[in-house]
Amino acid sequence: MPRVKSRADVHEVYSPKSRAQQFPEVDFRFLVHVAANISRAVALVHKHGHVIGDINHGSVLVSNDGTAVLIDCDSMQISSGGRSYACDMGVDVFTPPELQGKSFRGLVRTANHDAFGLAVLLFYLLFMGRHPFAGRYLGRGDMPIEQAIREFRFAYGSDRQATQMEAPPFTVPIKAMGASIAARFEEAFGRQGIARRPTALQWIGELESLARSLKQCAADSTHFHNANAGGCPWCPIEQAAYVRLFGERISPTVPGGTVSVRELWAAICAVNGPGPLPDLPVTITTHKSLQSRIRRIWVGIRKVASFAVACAGIVGCAAARKGDGGLFWFIAGMIAAVFVWPRPSSAAKSAFEDADRKWKAARSDWENHGGDNRFRDRRRELEALKNELANLPDERTRRLQALNQEREKLQRSAYLDRFRLDRAEIPLIGEARVAMLASYGVETAADVDYRKVDGIPGFGQRLTKNLLAWRREHEKNFRFNSKEAIDPKVIAAMERDLNAKQVKLANELRGGPLQLRQIEVEVQRARSQLRPRLEEAWNTRSIAEDEMRV
């Protein structure tokens, strides 16, 4: 057998923390390449009629060029001369549901059983060390990974609502890999997989297609993602979880170059904008029809008649001093005057109210779409971005000061990161629980924290106590070195973060003038389209008001 050297266990590739140590320069393209090569190795075994049986992350080694080597071949299920020599070993978290709980001794397995373990291994690679069945069960009681596998509770599947499973936080949605790969995982982990799961040859084709579809993220040059499945899935995870998934190699210089804030802001200020709204229409001379003129004459006659009747009432009041009937004629005259005085009809009132509503609606649209509020708001947002960009040097100084104040904490964390959970012997913490911890971002002693572990499904007081005791044992041996400088990787991570922020802010400001000009064009177009409607609404309202007054 050839000697295997200069290679790392596959879990050193898919785990972000260990990948930063073993493969600091790789990105997601490398993971897809490794996944395809593992599929090729498994396909070759199946081509010769054999079955691996005990597929797990301890049986694959990966080199710097992404080639994969299968080890522990002495445990494979070999078929020869019509006889099969069984593989008597297996790891529960890689075992298909139909074999869960069964003894492996003498058990003859098939390539379809291997297909489940291969799919788990590929899922680990593409989803940053997350096990496909490690999630939060929304029902009653705990849901260990082995039980979730038996009950087909794929934590990332489309039937999560039915299976009552929820993926861990800060994980990539399955659709980020594309619809085709998502469908293959559904087939591998669903009930239909008992009859047939995607083969290693099928996975080769799917992964090659994914590799061809990868494009570089505009915000971070180390991020590559499926161009057909939306935006970059890595950026929000890094921002929310404060982790670095790719690109951990220390670079002597930080890319990005210098940015002239003054020039960027001058280009933005050169866009004048649409300006304030023009004055609303004020008075419109309406054409009065013959019918309207006749109504006006009639209204005048009624007003004169009403005045005359009122005068008669006053005369009646004076007559009341000379005779007993004067008071009666006064009261009658006043009532008649009120009755004769003209009033607007209900139809005229209704027409005016309708015209007034339309006028108010037209005026509201005029102010909302024709005003310069959008322009001024975006201008203020760009000004805030400009200030943030200008203050990046001060932010760098503050961050360096904060790192100096936290040197002991950083040294302790780096020390505890040396102790991995998958290599530890902790009471009651086996393979499945280690996989659950890793799916929730707990991989080393540095990650073990009471609040963090307490929120992981299946970890009660006893298991949490065991984990904390294991961390304390290692923590006792830590010694702070006050003369030791800050880890260059920590400085590099800070510089990368600031550089990415600078690039993002500068890009937004560069696009500012175009955005403002687009808003200006849209506002001017809205004004030209809305003004005829506004003037018509005002004209209609003015006529209705005039009619009501008549």
Q: What is the pLDDT of residue 326?
A: 62
Higher pLDDT, 178 or 489: 178
Average pLDDT estimate for 29-34: 97
Averaged over 365-383, what is the pLDDT?
89
**CB atoms inside a 10 Å sphere around CB 196:** 11
Average pLDDT across the chain, whole number: 87
For residues 63 and 22, what is the distance between their CA atoms, to the nearest angstrom? Answer: 10
Look up residue 516 and give its two tokens. Answer: 């403002």
CA dihedral 3, 8, 9, 10 (to 10 degrees): -120
How far is the C-alpha of 505 from the C-alpha of 499, rounded, in Å?
A: 10
* Average pLDDT for 284-305: 63
Predicted confidence at residue 412, as pLDDT, reads 94
Q: Which residues pair with 79 in a beta bridge?
A: 84
- Which range has highest mean pLDDT (117-131, 158-172, 515-529)? 117-131
> What is the model's pLDDT at position 545?
76
Note the pLDDT of residue 319. 64
For residue 251, give the H/E element and its range. none
Lowest mean pLDDT among 137-146, 328-337, 363-372, 388-397: 328-337
The predicted pLDDT at position 320 comes to 57
| Residue reference for tokens 């913490």 | 429
pLDDT for 379 = 93
The dihedral over CA atoms of 511, 516, 521, 525, expressed in degrees to the nearest 10, equals: 130
**How remote is the C-alpha of 505 from its chain's centroid?**
19
pLDDT of residue 282: 53
Q: Return the closest-CA partner of residue 399 out of 499, 480, 253, 505.
A: 499
At 150-182, the pLDDT tens digits run 999 999 999 988 999 999 999 999 999 999 999
Per-residue confidence band for 16, with pLDDT thresholds at 50, 70 and 90: confident
pLDDT value, residue 341: 66
Assigned token pair, 478 = 């830590």
Helical axes 111-126 vs 28-47, angle rounded to 10°: 170
pLDDT of 224 strictly over 90: yes
Mean local confidence (pLDDT), 293-304: 68
Which of these, 198, 203, 235, lies nearest to 219 by C-alpha position?
A: 235
Q: What are phi and psi of 139, to 5 degrees?
A: -85, -160
Per-residue confidence band for 254, with pLDDT thresholds at 50, 70 and 90 = very low
* The predicted structure's pLDDT at residue 394: 93
Phi, psi (5° rounding) for residue 281? Answer: -60, 140
**DSSP-assigned letters across all residues of 37-106:** HHHHHHHHHHHTT-B--S--TTSEEE-TT--EEE--GGGSBEEETTEEE------GGGS-GGGTT---TT
Higher-pLDDT residue of 312, 115: 115
Q: Is 129 exposed, middle or buried (0-12, 13-18, 19+ CB in 10 A)?
A: buried
Q: How confident is residue 25, by pLDDT bands cut at 50, 70 and 90?
A: confident
Output 240 or 107, whichever has higher pLDDT.
107
Positive or negative torsion for Cα 200, 206, 210, 212 = positive
Residues 454 and 231: their CA atoms lie apart, in Å, by: 33
List the single range of 26-35, 286-295, 350-359, 428-437 with lowest mean pLDDT: 286-295
Question: Which contacts of 403-408 are long-range, i.e. CB under 8 A and separated by 24 or more positions?
Answer: 403/486, 403/490, 403/491, 403/494, 404/486, 407/480, 407/482, 407/484, 407/486, 408/480
Q: Which residue did the predictor score with more confidence, 410 or 541? A: 410
DSSP of 300-331, one letter per residue? HHHHHHHHHHHHHHHHHHHHTTTSTTHHHHHH
Q: Position 155: which residue type?
A: A
Q: What pLDDT does residue 241 have?
A: 81
Mean pLDDT lowest for which of 188-197, 297-306, 512-521? 297-306
- How much is the pLDDT for 255? 43
The arithmetic mean of pLDDT across residues 99-122, rounded, is: 96
Q: 96, 132 in Cβ contact below 8 A?
A: no
* DSSP notation for 450-488: HHHHHTSTT--HHHHHHHHHHHHHHHTT----TTSPPPH
Predicted confidence (pLDDT) at residue 84 exceeds the cutoff of 50: yes
For the chain, what's the residue count? 550
Q: Crossing angle of helices 200-213/28-47, nearest 10°?
A: 160
pLDDT at residue 324 is higher than 60: no
- Note the pLDDT of residue 495: 87
283 pLDDT more than 80: no
pTM: 0.71
Q: For the segment 329-343, what is each residue's pLDDT rounded down to a tens digit?
A: 667 767 776 766 666
Q: What is the CATH number of domain 8-241?
A: 1.10.510.10
How many beta carbons lie within 10 A of that of residue 372, not counting itself? 16
Q: How confident is the model at residue 3 (pLDDT cuts 50, 70, 90)?
A: confident
- Cβ count near 341 (within 10 Å): 15
Residues 6+ apart with CB under 8 A from 91: 54, 56, 58, 431
pLDDT given at position 345:
66
377 pLDDT higher than 80: yes
pLDDT tens string 463-476: 999 999 999 999 99
When comparing pLDDT for 347 and 14, which is higher?
Answer: 14
Share of the chain above pLDDT 90, in %: 57
What's the pLDDT score for residue 249? 52
pLDDT for 253 equals: 40
Residue 478: band (very low, low, confident or very high) from pLDDT cuts 50, 70, 90: very high
- Quote the pLDDT of residue 323: 55
Residue 35, pLDDT score: 97
Tokens of 452: 């963090």
Distance from C-alpha of 112 to C-alpha of 198, rounded to nearest angstrom: 8
Q: For residue 542, what pLDDT is reported?
A: 80
